[in-house]
């Protein structure tokens, strides 16, 4: 084989000849490629990366995990869901456990989520300020679960307005607590909330609204006359809302002489309403005063004293807080069924000048009733064309310089005292011609004139003081006091009155004959009976 000679020293190296071991790489050589790593599993497990890959905002790790959870349960809007969750977390930090509010997020729309978030935020501020207790906040949150987005936003607005008033100094913390308490009570149902809104329009105080809301929650306690308590069917909240009219005032001057039947409500419905409880209680108490004339007359409580009577079902009530009846003639609207008319107030009933009521039903009674007071100081006369005119009040009833007239009966009652002075009491002679005066405490009658047609006069009270009265000839007079007659039959004569007795103070007559001592009383007072109250 031919001999191999080494190449010259300056000859270039052959192509397949490796460079010397210590030779540096060329200066412009590219870096070695990175080692290929499969990171698919890492990206799929990183919630923050996943959100970014999907085009969503990058969040911190916790929010990213929550966002993934929201998507997993089908939340309509992830951002809205997250904001609601954050508001709920803040509630929990404040000690208000609303964790159960987070169980159905996947079923809530974006509007629902936003409304819940706004509502929860507004509540949290009230809790932070010490206005809303944790228990009440929890109760509100429970009630909120069944409410629409619009209802929640409305409640949130109320909370926000209250917070703003606190921060501006318009209301104190104590005042704000009362408002918050009422709002909590009303949050139980949309109907209660609607009632609270209506009450607010009437400018009631927070304490007054609290009482009304409590009464609504407790339900009516009054019993219909002659019926067991269980027979009263409580009104629904919607029906109670119609009864708010009792809190308003009314002047008859706006009625142009007409009192339409549409202003009246059925006595049965009234008895079932919490707004009429005071009136119902006074009416029942006034009715219970009458124990001597059972089954023959209608009491100012609006019912026959006979428990068996069913006439109450047709009675109608016009009720307000205050009523003013000025001088004039008023035509009562016809009722669908035969019943009695009641004009009733929870506070004050005022009559002015000469007032005449005309009824389309000659047999119907007209009862003027107040759970507080009746003011006749500006009245000259009150007349009624029907069978009975009744006037009853909780406070003392003063009939001074006033003439009262009805076709058949006049009835005056008070749970305190009745004062008659320079008064006239007239019946037509076509009916019972009965005058009935009852007071839980005292009757004082001075210079009272009874028409000659009056057939029966009954007065009942703990003490009866009479002066300057001439009982009509032929009339039957029953005067009943706590202790009854002196020696069983006589009044106490003279200006030194005795408690519990019938006192003839001055110039008492029967048929124009004096009966101011025992002899004359025996001679002319045979139709005057002195008895005990309740008999």
Tokens 């009916």 sit at which residue?
A: 431
Residue 129 has pLDDT above 50, yes or no: yes
Considering 201-205, 234-238, 251-255, 294-298, the range whose residues carry the highest mean pLDDT is 251-255
Residue 357: per-residue pLDDT? 97
Average pLDDT of 368-373? Answer: 93
Of residues 464 and 134, more confidently modeled: 464
Coil/strand/helix, residue 415? coil
The Cα–Cα gap between 235 and 216 comes to: 9
DSSP state at residue 17: P
Span 297-328, pLDDT tens digits:
343 334 443 323 344 668 888 988 899 999 99
Asked if 495 and 535 touch (Cβ cutoff 8 Å), the reply is: no
Q: CA gyration radius for the chain?
A: 43
pLDDT band, residue 39 (cuts 50/70/90): very low
User: Which of these ranges, 48-52, 446-450, 515-519, has the smallest mean pLDDT?
Assistant: 48-52
Instruction: Name residues whose C-beta falls within 8 Å of residue 228's C-beta, 6 or more positions apart in sequence.
Output: none
Coil/strand/helix, residue 360? coil
Instruction: Name residues whose C-beta falls within 8 Å of residue 16's C-beta, 6 or more positions apart in sequence.
Output: none
Give Cα separations from 380 to 309, 352, 363, 479 (angstroms): 35, 7, 25, 27
Average pLDDT of 234-258? Answer: 73
Instruction: Name residues whose C-beta falls within 8 Å of residue 170's C-beta, 6 or more positions apart in sequence.
Output: none
Instruction: Name residues whose C-beta falls within 8 Å of residue 199's C-beta, 6 or more positions apart in sequence.
Output: 208, 209, 212, 244, 247
Give Cα separations from 202 to 245, 248, 421, 451 (angstroms): 10, 8, 38, 45
Residue 69 in tokens: 């959870």
Asked if 391 and 411 touch (Cβ cutoff 8 Å), the reply is: yes
**pTM, rounded to two decimals:** 0.62
Nearest CA-CA partner of 324 in 271, 377, 397, 390: 377
The Cα–Cα gap between 157 and 125 comes to: 12
Average pLDDT of 243-272? Answer: 83
User: Which of these ranges, 37-46, 129-138, 264-273, 297-306, has the smallest mean pLDDT?
Assistant: 297-306
Of residues 284 and 450, more confidently modeled: 450
The Cα–Cα gap between 418 and 420 comes to: 7
Mean pLDDT over the full length of the chain: 79
SS (H, E, C) 151-182: HHHHHHHHHHHHHHHHHHCCCCHHHHHHHHHH
Residue 105 has pLDDT above 90, yes or no: no
User: Which of these ranges, 42-46, 218-222, 227-231, 413-417, has the smallest mean pLDDT?
Assistant: 227-231
Span 183-230, pLDDT tens digits:
887 777 666 666 666 666 666 677 766 766 666 555 544 333 333 343
Asked if 105 and 84 touch (Cβ cutoff 8 Å), the reply is: yes
Tokens 């969040």 sit at which residue?
A: 59
DSSP-derived pairing of the beta strands 528-532 and 373-384: unpaired
DSSP state at residue 60: -
Instruction: Name residues whose C-beta falls within 8 Å of residue 359's C-beta, 6 or more positions apart in sequence.
Output: 332, 341, 366, 384, 385, 386
Q: Which residues sit opposite 530 in a β-bridge?
A: 479
For 201, other C-beta atoms within 10 Å of its C-beta total: 9
Nearest CA-CA partner of 434 in 488, 476, 403: 476
Span 468-516, pLDDT tens digits:
999 999 999 999 999 999 999 999 999 999 999 999 999 999 999 999 9
The Cα–Cα gap between 510 and 23 comes to: 153
pLDDT band, residue 444 (cuts 50/70/90): very high
Residue 214 parent element (H or E): helix 206-218
Residue 414: per-residue pLDDT? 93
Instruction: Name residues whose C-beta falls within 8 Å of residue 342's C-beta, 6 or more positions apart in sequence.
Output: 264, 267, 302, 315, 316, 317, 318, 319, 366, 367, 369
Residue 215 in tokens: 């009464």
The Cα–Cα gap between 199 and 38 comes to: 70
Domain boundaries, the chain: 55-180, 238-461
Residue 43 has pLDDT above 50, yes or no: no
The Cα–Cα gap between 456 and 431 comes to: 11
Span 177-194, pLDDT tens digits:
888 888 887 777 666 666
């Amino acid at each position: 084989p031919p001999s191999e000679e080494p190449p010259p020293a300056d000859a270039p190296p052959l192509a397949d000849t490796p460079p010397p071991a210590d030779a540096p790489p060329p200066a412009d050589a590219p870096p070695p490629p990175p080692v290929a790593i499969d990171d698919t599993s890492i990206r799929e497990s990183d919630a923050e990366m996943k959100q970014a890959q999907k085009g969503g905002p990058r969040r911190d790790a916790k929010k990213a995990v929550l966002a993934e959870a929201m998507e997993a349960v089908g939340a309509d809007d992830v951002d809205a869901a997250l904001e609601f969750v954050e508001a709920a977390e803040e509630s929990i930090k404040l000690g208000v456990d609303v964790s159960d509010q987070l169980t159905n997020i996947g079923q809530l729309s974006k509007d629902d989520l936003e409304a819940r978030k706004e509502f929860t935020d507004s509540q949290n501020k009230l809790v932070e300020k010490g206005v809303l207790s944790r228990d009440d906040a929890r109760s509100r949150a429970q009630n909120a679960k069944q409410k629409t987005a619009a209802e929640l936003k409305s409640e949130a607005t109320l909370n926000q307005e209250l917070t703003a008033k606190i921060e501006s100094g318009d209301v104190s913390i104590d005042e704000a607590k009362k408002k918050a308490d009422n709002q909590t009570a009303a949050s139980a149902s949309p109907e209660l909330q609607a009632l609270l809104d209506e009450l607010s329009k009437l400018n009631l105080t927070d304490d007054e609204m609290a009482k009304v809301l409590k009464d609504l929650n407790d339900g009516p306690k009054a019993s219909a006359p002659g019926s067991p308590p269980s027979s009263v069917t409580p009104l629904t909240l919607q029906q109670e809302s119609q009864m708010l009219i009792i809190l308003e005032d009314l002047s008859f001057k706006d009625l142009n002489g007409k009192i339409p039947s549409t202003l009246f409500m059925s006595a049965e419905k009234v008895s079932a309403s919490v707004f009429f409880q005071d009136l119902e209680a006074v009416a029942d108490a006034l009715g219970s005063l009458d124990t001597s004339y059972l089954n023959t007359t209608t009491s100012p409580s609006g019912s026959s004293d006979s428990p068996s009577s069913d006439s109450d079902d047709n009675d109608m009530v016009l009720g307000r807080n205050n009523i003013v009846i000025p001088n004039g003639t008023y035509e009562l609207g016809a009722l669908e069924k035969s019943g009695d008319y009641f004009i009733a107030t929870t506070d004050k009933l005022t009559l002015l000048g000469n007032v005449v009521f005309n009824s389309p039903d000659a047999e119907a009674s007209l009862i003027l009733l107040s759970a507080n007071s009746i003011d006749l100081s500006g009245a000259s006369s009150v007349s009624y064309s029907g069978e009975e005119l009744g006037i009853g009040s909780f406070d003392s009833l003063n009939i001074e310089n006033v003439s009262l007239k009805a076709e058949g009966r006049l009835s005056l009652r008070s749970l305190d005292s009745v004062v008659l002075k320079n008064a006239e009491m007239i019946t037509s002679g076509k009916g019972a011609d009965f005058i009935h005066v009852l007071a839980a405490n005292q009757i004082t009658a001075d210079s009272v004139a009874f028409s000659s047609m009056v057939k029966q006069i009954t007065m009942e009270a703990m003490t009866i003081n009479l002066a300057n009265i001439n009982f009509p000839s032929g009339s039957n007079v029953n005067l009943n006091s706590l202790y009854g007659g002196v020696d069983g039959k006589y009044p106490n004569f003279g200006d030194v009155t005795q408690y519990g007795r019938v006192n003839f103070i001055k110039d008492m007559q029967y048929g124009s004959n004096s009966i101011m001592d025992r002899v004359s009383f025996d001679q002319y007072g045979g139709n005057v009976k002195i008895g005990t109250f309740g008999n």
